[in-house]
């Protein structure tokens, strides 16, 4: 019988991984933020990395508002093609350095549109950075020789459930033009315009735009407002994910999968929380949740779990052991572990997997979750090419696992599993 491998930090770092829920503007390097802020004269509350960690990008936050405060600075410096290209390139580099072999970078192009830069320019710039980083990595001898699998990526465009005029020049112009309409109509129009642009840019320029997302404030801004946009991408074979169940309950997730045809759910933290159901017409709350969970599990609608981010935006959770991931695993949901925002949450994919070992403490189930990330990705290209790529990933995964099993056996002493190490302030 094969000896089980101990889940150590070194193993988790070397294993091939994905990040399917990765925000560009929430994942830049602090040094780059400072550099770009100086170049574009964007005032920061501190001009040192340590100072920004103390006053903006913290390990813990009081609430969602404090968590989101840092985005005003990152979005402000990402208003040129060169800045977008640089940040995209560095983001791919950072992921490659910790063994991540496939990422889906998501962002809201309309946050970066202004007089001198349209949606095409924005998406081209981000794609240039990611494409260059992919090519640089894939020219390495280990990849060219077939010893290691290549690095790949896709782009997900985000519509916003709501926005205000100060969010960007584009949003400000749209609200002024439609100042007599109900704001929700403007929100829906922006989503539809982005959906049409995404499909057209994908088809005409070949940029690997693989998915469409809806992000932003859930409560009071229902997913159903964006049905027309999602219907358009659905008809044009663009895959769909939706931020849902992050700050609202099961009904939000229900809307995402019924009204918006969601293939994946971002966060889904409150999926099984009956106390979050607000519709008085739902009399038997537990039955409603059971049916919803069964539907999601049966159709393998994958939940993009972001442990650190959930703990930071929902401080009332209190302890990591209270996270919904355990319940998701118990009912057989397809889940993948993601970072959400590498900078804002001060995390990495390896770090998130370390935290996940509190719920997934053996090599077999960890492998299942990691490989789900590749299988349930919106991988660009044909189905057969995706299958070939996933097979290559699995083969490499097993090689890395066997290497660490052998090293652990040779070491003599029992390695310390990551689940027994500190969770850096997320447990209590």
Nearest CA among 261, 215, 219 for reference residue 22: 215
Give burial (CB, 10 Å; 0-12/13-18/19+) of 183.
Answer: middle
User: 28: number of CA atoms within 13 Å, CB side?
Assistant: 28
Alpha helices, DSSP H, located in 178-237? 183-205, 227-235
Find the Cα–Cα–Cα–Cα dihedral 373, 268, 216, 349, rounded to 10°.
Answer: -40
Q: What is d(CA 85, CA 127) in angstroms, rounded to the nearest whole number?
A: 7
Query: Which among 148, 246, 354, 401 is annotated as catalytic?
Result: 246
Active site residue 224: no
The answer to whether 325 and 356 have CB atoms below 8 angstroms apart is yes
> Interhelix angle for 119-138 vs 81-97, to 10°?
30
User: 232: number of CA atoms within 13 Å, CB side?
Assistant: 17
Tell me which residue has tokens 């000896």. 3
Q: What is d(CA 391, CA 236) in angstroms, rounded to the nearest whole number?
A: 28
Nearest CA among 1, 137, 6, 85 for reference residue 401: 6
The answer to whether 367 and 51 have CB atoms below 8 angstroms apart is no
The answer to whether 51 and 133 have CB atoms below 8 angstroms apart is no
Encoding tokens for residue 345?
A: 């949450």
| Other Cβ atoms within 10 Å of 129 Cβ, number | 25
Q: What is d(CA 15, CA 398) in angstroms, rounded to the nearest whole number?
A: 9
Active site residues: 246
């Amino acid at each position: 019988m094969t000896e089980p491998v101990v889940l150590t930090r070194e193993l988790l770092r070397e294993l091939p991984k994905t990040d399917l829920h990765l925000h560009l503007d929430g994942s830049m390097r602090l040094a780059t933020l400072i550099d770009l802020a100086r170049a574009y004269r964007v005032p920061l509350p501190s001009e040192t990395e340590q100072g920004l960690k103390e006053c903006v990008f913290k390990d813990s936050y009081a609430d969602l508002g404090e968590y989101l405060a840092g985005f005003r600075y990152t979005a402000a410096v990402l208003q040129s093609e060169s800045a977008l290209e640089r940040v995209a390139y560095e983001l791919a580099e950072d992921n490659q350095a910790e063994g991540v072999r496939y990422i889906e970078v998501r962002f809201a192009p309309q946050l970066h549109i202004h007089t001198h830069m349209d949606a095409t320019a924005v998406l081209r710039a981000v794609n240039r950075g990611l494409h260059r980083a992919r090519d640089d990595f894939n020219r390495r001898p280990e990849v060219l020789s077939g010893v290691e699998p290549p690095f790949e990526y896709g782009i997900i465009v985000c519509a916003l459930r709501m926005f205000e005029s100060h969010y960007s020049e584009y949003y400000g112009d749209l609200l002024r033009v439609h100042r007599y309409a109900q704001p929700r109509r403007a929100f829906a129009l922006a989503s539809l315009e982005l959906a049409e642009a995404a499909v057209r840019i994908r088809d005409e320029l070949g940029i690997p735009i693989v998915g469409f997302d809806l992000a932003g404030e859930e409560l009071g801004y229902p997913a159903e407002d964006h049905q027309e946009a999602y219907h358009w991408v659905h008809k044009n074979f663009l895959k769909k994910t939706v931020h849902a169940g992050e700050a609202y309950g099961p009904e939000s997730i229900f809307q995402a999968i019924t009204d918006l045809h969601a293939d994946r759910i971002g966060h889904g933290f409150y999926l099984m929380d009956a106390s979050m159901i607000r519709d008085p017409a739902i009399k038997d709350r537990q039955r409603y949740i059971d049916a919803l969970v069964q539907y999601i599990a049966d159709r393998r609608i994958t939940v993009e779990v972001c442990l650190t981010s959930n703990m930071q935006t929902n401080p009332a959770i209190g302890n990591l052991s209270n996270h919904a991931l355990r319940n998701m695993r118990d009912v057989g949901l397809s889940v993948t572990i993601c970072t959400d925002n590498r900078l804002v949450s001060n995390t990495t994919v390896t770090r998130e997997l370390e935290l996940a070992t509190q719920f997934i403490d053996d090599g077999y189930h960890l492998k299942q979750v990691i490989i789900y990330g590749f299988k349930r990705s919106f991988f660009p290209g044909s189905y057969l090419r995706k299958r070939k790529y996933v097979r290559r990933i699995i083969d490499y995964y097993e090689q890395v696992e066997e290497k660490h099993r052998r090293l652990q056996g040779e070491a003599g002493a029992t390695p310390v599993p990551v689940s027994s190490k500190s969770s850096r302030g997320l447990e209590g």
